[in-house]
Structures are given as C-alpha cells and as structure tokens.
Amino acid sequence: SVNIVAFGNERDGFSEDSQQPSLIWSYLGRSALITQINSSLSTSHVGSQVFTEYQACIFGNVRLVVHDCPVWNIFDSDRYTSYRLIGAADIIVIKYSVNDKTSFQELKDNYVPMVKKALNHCSVPVIISAIGARKNGVPCSCPLCTSDRRSCVTTSEGVQLAKELGATYLELHSLNDFYIQKNFGGVLEYFMIQSLNQKSSEKMKKRKKMQKCYRVQPPQLEQPEKMPILKGEASHYNADLHNLLCCCQCADVAFYPEDFSMEVEAHKIILCSVSHLFMLLFGVKSLSDTHDASIVQLAQSLFAVEAGDPFPSTPHGAPPCVLPVRVVVKDSVFCSCLPDILHFIYSGAVQWERLEEDIKKKLKDPDKTEHVLEKVKCILKTPGKLNTVKDCKSHQIKQLNNTSLRLFFNNPVLADVIFKIQGAMVPAHRAVLVARCEVMAAMFNGNYLEANSILVPVYGISKDTFLSFLEYLYTDSCCPVSILQAMSLLICAEMYQVMRLQHICELYIITQLQSMPSRELASTSLSIVSLLKKAKFHNSDCLSTWLLHFIATNYLILSQKPEFQELSVEERNFVEMHRWPSNLYLKQLADYRNYIHSQKCHCTVM
C-alpha cells in the first residue's frame, strides 16, 4: 500500500469559487491509474472537519490511502493526530495558493518547523505545490518595490521553502489536465513507484535472509497489541456562548431603542471581552484609560446608559438580583440590526460574511448597510489600530471570546460570584459558568443554596485544580504541568460533567505515558495502577481500558512494582492475557536457549 498525506489549501482566502475541486480530488478523478475511489470525512475534538480520507487502487491492486488536510490548525489543536499522519506517510504533499501571501507566511513561520520536527530526519519525499496564476502578474524584482509582494507568493519564495524541507517544488498555474496529470501526477506517481520498490526490496531481503538460515532460528518476538485509540470531542465553545444569548440566562444588560419599542438582552462580560467600547460604557475602563478618541466619541453618540443606581442594595451574601442595566441605542438603524450583531459576537465574531448578508436582507439599503457595518468594525477594533474590511474577514480574524475572556479569568471586574476554596477567594462570572457547564447552570438556576448566594464554597478540590478548571471554562484550553495534575483536573471535570475537558486530560495522560522511556518508567514513583483505579472510579472508561493495555504492554517493568499486586482478579486476568512479551514467547525463548547450549550445537571440529 501507499500512504499519502496532503496539507494546506489550494484556494486563496478571497476566492469566491468554493465549489472548486481540490488538487487531490482532481488528480484521483482524472488519473487513468486510479480505480475504486472512496472518500470519508474525519473529525476530531479540536473542531469540525479535520481531514478527508480517500481510498483507492493504483497500478491494478495496490491500495492507495490519501489523507487531505485542508487546514493547518490540526498542528495547533490536535498534534497527536497530525504527528500520527506524518509518521505513517510514504509521501507528503504541501499545497498553498500563490495569491494568499498571509497563509504562506504563516505556513513558513509556524507549520514548516513542525513538519520538519515530525519527520525527524526520515527520508519521506515531500512535494510542494504552488497553485494558481498570480493575479498581479510577474512580481517586480526591484528591491525597493514591495507593493506587489504583499498579495502573491513569488517563485523564489516557494523554491526557498522547498530547499528547507528538501522537497520537490512544482508550480501549477491551473488545475487542468496538463498540470494535474503531467506535472503533479508525473512527480507523484514517480514517488509512489519508488516507495513500492523500496517496500518490495525490503520484503525480498527479509525473505532471502530467512531462506538462508537452515538452522533453528530464535523465536520471533511479536509486536505488542495496538493500544486503543481515544477520540476527542469537538469544541463547542462558541456554540455554548451563542446558546447563552438565545436562552438569556444571567442577562445583566438590556438594549432599547429611543421609543422603548423593543428589548434586546445581553451580558456585560461577553460584550466587554470583545470590545473596548463596551468596557468604557459599562465602567470597566475609565475615560482616562481610553486613549482612542474615536471610541469615546462613538460610545457617546451611539449609546446612553440610563441614570440611576444600577446596583440596589441587597442582603449580605445574597446574589446580585438586579434588573439589567438599561442602555438606550440612539441610532435606530443600528438598533434594528442589534440582534444580528449580538449573534455575530456571541458566535465568536468569525462569520463576518454571514453578518453582512443578514444586515443586507434586513435593511435592503446599501448605504444603511455600510453605515451599520462600519459601526460594528469600530466597536470591535483595537484602540490605536485601523480596522479594514480585510481584518474582519472570517479567514483573517481570530476567535475573540476564548482569547479575550481570559482577561476576566480570576478577575473581580464584573464578577457576580465568589468561590471559597482552601481559604482563598476566586471571583467568577455566572454567565460564563452557566454557558459552559451544565452542572453549574443547574446549580445557579435551580433550587440550590448556591443560586441565592454570592459566596459559594468548594470542597474536595485543590485551589490549583479548580483554577485550571475555571481557566478551561473561560478559554477552552488547559495546560496541565504533570500527569497527576491532569488526573486531578479529570476528576474535577467528571464532577462537573464537562466531558470535553475530561477527554483532553485523558489524551494528555496518554501522550505523557507513551513518551516516557522504559528506564524512567521503571524508576518513577508514579503509580500506573493508582491512575487506573482513579480512572475507573470516575467513569473514565476509555482511559482505564488504555491503562490496562499499557500495563500489559509494559508487563516486565510494571509487574515488578509493589502496586501491581493491587490489581483485581479481573484486571490481572486481562493483563496476563494481553501481556507482552507473551508466555508462549518466553517458553519458546527458553527452549531455544537450551538448544543453543546443548551438545548438539557444539562445533564437531573442536
């Protein structure tokens, strides 16, 4: 079989032809050598689609497997899957559009070093395909002229990238028969033939070596059983925040037009996390802290917070049961589009094109549409930086909430609940907790003591573990520093029923144990059996099954540790059945050693 892994997107970020077939699919569909093509989509815990898997036959009966990964984010969010794909690859294809300089620069600076590290000096052929015709013609060679280098990737840049990887460089000006079959297909098929020849040669050498050995051969040590593969859970961070807007739980701000004909509820913490204007409006920042006059001017011209005490006195220890802060929107056109704008913000502020379409359909006036969109860009912009339409495109803008909400993590600003844990006070925000954790949503909205108190005690969890748990709720990421901390965080995630965090901790524990050398595993004080017991007790079935296989695979090391005796009868039977090396191999090895040392094997001359 031949395994090919393709990374990158051949379409530029401004392409309007979303139905254009990919390079891999075009080659598979047009090549006369390819038959029986099947495809399937694969997903991972880091997002939606990760890669497309194609299976086909080439050269008659040779199995061809192609994994086409259109996004490079897999290296950031699911390094386990990306390294596994590269490790199994016979050929690697890297694609990019010559008209997307930004993506090429990100590829060169961030992801090419990761690919080089994953290859680890392996002699896997790499093909770099520069796709598309440069829209601004031949780039100027003048060293002082950089105007045409901002949008197009030059040939010299592509060749330099290929040199760094020791790769073959191709330029495909169009995905037609000539470039796909003659250029790309010819190079790809050459490497496929080379790979098949190398595999055939290695197989033949092994067969000849076996045939030359007439005497009794030592027993062959079989490979250990394949470890179970843990599948992660897709992120639903933006969906959680969007659902918070839809259900309007814990809303603490209400927008009204000047005639008070409608009401739109929202949450200060979410709005302030994406906009300095809302920070100024709700008192998170003062006028003296805001150095951008345009933000101050827009806030004063667009919004007006109703006068009065927004925080009436409440009994000590009671929650801030107050009416939402009333904000009057002075611009009637902007106010009519406010629900769509809030849906855009709560969905991660990454669907700019969809927001444009929604506002166009609602207003049906190009001037009014442009007026509203300009105000949205001004609201979301960073002080001191000029926002452009390009900055707001979905392929350029970063997710705002999961990075900006970090500013309010363990921060008393806008906090409406305080957790008391191990004598320390940890401020938090009910809106974020309710959106991200169903257990906390029930706790704060049901008939529980916590629903009627600002101060909430937490028992049975360390402060550091609980802070890591809250950090995940705010940022959708976590970075355990050790296996034990990951296990503690897993237990906390199981307690609050945050399944994706539990899966992330499981993957971290597995990755750390897999990378542990045998010598370190033999000398470590970490108890694998204790991890197994905790995983079982806290309903982490996938991790407990994996740990049983890990104990069986490292039987010779772990069976010598005292905690091995703590395994139950059922667990011991499983380990003995799947142990490596097996009892049969050890018996065959003992028989072979006896044979070698017997008189029958002594030299007859001596």
Q: What is the pLDDT of residue 604?
A: 47
pLDDT for residue 566 is more than 80: yes
* Domains detected in the chain: 2-201 (3.40.50.300), 237-308+317-397 (3.30.710.10), 409-515 (3.30.710.10), 519-606 (no CATH)
Q: What is the pLDDT of residue 293?
A: 86
**Local structure of 342: helix, strand or coil:** helix
What's the N-to-C CA distance of the chain in angstroms?
Answer: 50
With cut-offs at 50, 70 and 90, classify the pLDDT of residue 30. Answer: confident
Rounded to the nearest integer, the mean pLDDT of the chain is 83
pLDDT for residue 385 is more than 50: no
Q: Which one is predicted more confidently, 348 or 409?
A: 409
pLDDT tens sequence across 14-23: 555 556 678 8
Sorted by sequence, the CB contacts under 8 Å of residue 389 that are 6+ apart come out as 377
pLDDT tens sequence across 530-539: 999 999 999 9
φ, ψ (nearest 5 deg) of residue 540: -95, 75
With cut-offs at 50, 70 and 90, classify the pLDDT of residue 332. Answer: very high
**CB-CB contact of 465 with 430 (8 Å):** no
Q: What is the pLDDT of residue 394?
A: 42
pLDDT tens sequence across 33-53: 777 677 676 655 445 556 788
With cut-offs at 50, 70 and 90, classify the pLDDT of residue 208. Answer: confident
With cut-offs at 50, 70 and 90, classify the pLDDT of residue 369. Answer: very high
For the ranges 385-389, 495-499, 578-582, 584-588, which has the lowest average pLDDT?
Answer: 385-389
pLDDT for residue 469 is more than 80: yes
Buried b (16+ CB within 10 A) or exposed e, 74-93: bbebbebbbbebbeebbbbb
CA torsion 245→250→255→259, rounded to 10°?
Answer: 110
Percentage of residues of the chain with pLDDT beyond 70:
84
pLDDT for residue 299 is more than 60: yes
Q: What is the pLDDT of residue 205?
A: 82
Q: What average pLDDT does range 102-127 have in this prediction? A: 83
Buried b (16+ CB within 10 A) or exposed e, 236-258: ebbebbbebbeeebbbbbbbbbe
Q: What is the pLDDT of residue 359?
A: 94
Q: What is the pLDDT of residue 126?
A: 87
pLDDT for residue 416 is more than 60: yes
User: Which long-range contacts (C-beta less than 8 Å, at least 24 apart) are formed by 556-563?
Assistant: 556/581, 557/518, 557/521, 557/522, 558/521, 558/528, 558/529, 560/522, 561/527, 561/529, 563/527, 563/528, 563/529, 563/530
Sorted by sequence, the CB contacts under 8 Å of residue 172 that are 6+ apart come out as 23, 129, 130, 131, 132, 179, 180, 183, 184
Q: Hey, what are 597's tokens? A: 């040392």
Beta bridge partners, 427, equal 418
Q: What is the pLDDT of residue 230?
A: 81
**CB-CB contact of 137 with 178 (8 Å):** no
pLDDT tens sequence across 221-271: 888 888 888 877 888 998 999 999 998 888 999 999 999 999 999 999 999
User: Which long-range contacts (C-beta less than 8 Å, at least 24 apart) are formed by 11-19?
Assistant: 11/97, 12/97, 12/99, 12/100, 12/103, 12/132, 13/97, 13/100, 13/102, 13/103, 13/393, 13/395, 13/396, 14/99, 14/100, 14/393, 15/97
φ, ψ (nearest 5 deg) of residue 309: -80, 105
With cut-offs at 50, 70 and 90, classify the pLDDT of residue 540. Answer: very high
Give dist(CA 576, CA 397) in Å, integer: 54
Beta bridge partners, 328, equal 256, 304
Q: Which one is predicted more confidently, 592 or 469?
A: 469
For the ranges 79-93, 314-328, 486-500, 562-576, which has the lowest average pLDDT?
Answer: 314-328
Give dist(CA 214, CA 212) in Å, integer: 6
With cut-offs at 50, 70 and 90, classify the pLDDT of residue 334. Answer: very high
Q: Which one is predicted more confidently, 539 or 70?
A: 539
Sorted by sequence, the CB contacts under 8 Å of residue 288 that are 6+ apart come out as none
pLDDT tens sequence across 394-407: 433 444 445 578 99
**CB-CB contact of 348 with 238 (8 Å):** yes
Q: What is the pLDDT of residue 605?
A: 42
Q: What is the pLDDT of residue 315?
A: 40
